[in-house]
């Protein structure tokens, strides 16, 4: 999660949690001319369209008043989905044992993409098992990480 997205998550968390949802993650994508603010919300009973609309209305009002982004943007509120993104160390711990797809910001031992079984986090490194080998991927190097749905 970028610095800006992390700050926005901190800013918006109490509002989303006050509505009874977990603010699972925040993405701030695009350039200054065309930005997308994507919020992922979660709840033990799941998320439906009405949940997303409710959070969108509340967050939109807050963002209109406080204007923390400054530039034009589109707000999108969604559930994390079956291929949920992983943003924080706690997410990597929570979903240990699941299949995960990780993309790095550059090469690590000749690889940029990793797909395997998530083992958790140790010393700011994500542990992932691929073909019987355990890889240690620095959290700071992860560009994107998502669960791989099992069908």
According to the model, what pLDDT value does residue 22 have? 96
Let me know the angle formed at the C-alpha of 29 by 67 and 32, rounded to the nearest 5 degrees. Answer: 60
Please indicate, yes or no, if residue 125 is contained in any of the structural domains: yes
Write out pLDDT tens, residues 76-105: 999 999 999 999 999 999 999 999 999 999
Write out pLDDT tens, residues 106-148: 999 999 999 999 999 999 999 999 999 999 999 999 999 999 9
> Are residue 69 and residue 11 in the same domain, yes or no?
yes
Collapse the DSSP code of 34 into the 3-class scheme (helix H, G, I; strand E, B; otherwise coil) and give the result. strand
Tally of domains in the chain: 2
- The residues, ordered by sequence, that sit 6+ positions from 56 with a Cβ below 8 Å of its Cβ are 75, 77
Please indicate, yes or no, if residue 83 is contained in any of the structural domains: no
Please indicate, yes or no, if residue 94 is contained in any of the structural domains: yes
Structural domain boundaries enclosing 11: 3-78
Write out pLDDT tens, residues 9-35: 999 999 999 999 999 999 988 887 788
């Amino acid at each position: 999660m970028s610095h800006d997205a992390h700050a926005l998550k901190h800013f918006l968390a109490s509002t989303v949690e006050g509505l009874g949802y977990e603010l699972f993650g925040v993405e701030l994508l695009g350039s200054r001319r065309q930005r997308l603010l994507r919020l992922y919300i979660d709840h033990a009973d799941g998320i439906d369209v009405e949940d997303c609309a409710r959070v969108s209305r509340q967050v939109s009002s807050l963002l209109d008043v406080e204007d923390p982004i400054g530039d034009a943007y589109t707000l999108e509120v969604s559930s994390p989905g079956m291929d949920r993104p992983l943003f924080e160390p706690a997410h990597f711990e929570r979903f240990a044992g699941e299949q995960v797809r990780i993309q790095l910001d550059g090469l690590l031992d000749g690889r940029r993409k990793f797909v395997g079984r998530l083992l958790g986090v140790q010393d700011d490194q994500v542990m992932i098992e691929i073909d019987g080998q355990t890889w240690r991927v620095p959290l700071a190097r992860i560009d994107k990480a998502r669960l791989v749905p099992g069908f």
